[in-house]
Amino acid sequence: MSSTPSANRTVTFLLPFKLPGMQEPHMAGTFEILAEEEQLDVMWDAHRTTLSILLRYPGRTEALPVTAGDLEEAILNDRHSNINSALS
């Protein structure tokens, strides 16, 4: 099985956020999402895509694995919380 880079994207969190695997919430900002597509070793053409978010800390950058579902949930929570803050 081999991995090849796939399309990368960025996501902006307007408020501090926390994803599974994070000990503490991370500050808001724009983050790069790395996607790698891995061809599976089966008799038909099948691939698995893995995602990582690049988190920047003072003096280092960490690639945190994340599922598409967890990432989308965090983005929706961020947007929902931001709207509620604006309405208050």
Least Cα distance to 16 among 73, 69, 82, 84 occurs for: 82
Least Cα distance to 32 among 56, 14, 53 occurs for: 53
Establish if 11 belongs to a structural domain. yes
Establish if 66 belongs to a structural domain. yes
Establish if 73 belongs to a structural domain. yes
Q: What is the number of structural domains in the chain?
A: 1
Pairing of strands 60-66, 47-57: antiparallel
Pairing of strands 29-39, 3-5: antiparallel
Establish if 8 belongs to a structural domain. yes
d(CA 19, CA 70): 7
Mean pLDDT of 35-39: 88
Establish if 51 belongs to a structural domain. no
Establish if 23 belongs to a structural domain. no
Mean pLDDT of 51-74: 93
d(CA 83, CA 88): 9
Establish if 20 belongs to a structural domain. no
Mean pLDDT of 28-54: 90
Least Cα distance to 11 among 78, 62, 61, 63 occurs for: 78
When pLDDT is cut at 50, 70 and 90, the band that residue 38 belongs to is confident
pLDDT above 60: residue 78: yes
pLDDT, mean over the chain:
87
Establish if 71 belongs to a structural domain. yes
Range of the domain at 88: 1-15+35-44+61-88
Counting residues of the chain whose pLDDT is more than 70, the rounded percentage is 86
Looking at residue 8, what is its pLDDT?
A: 84
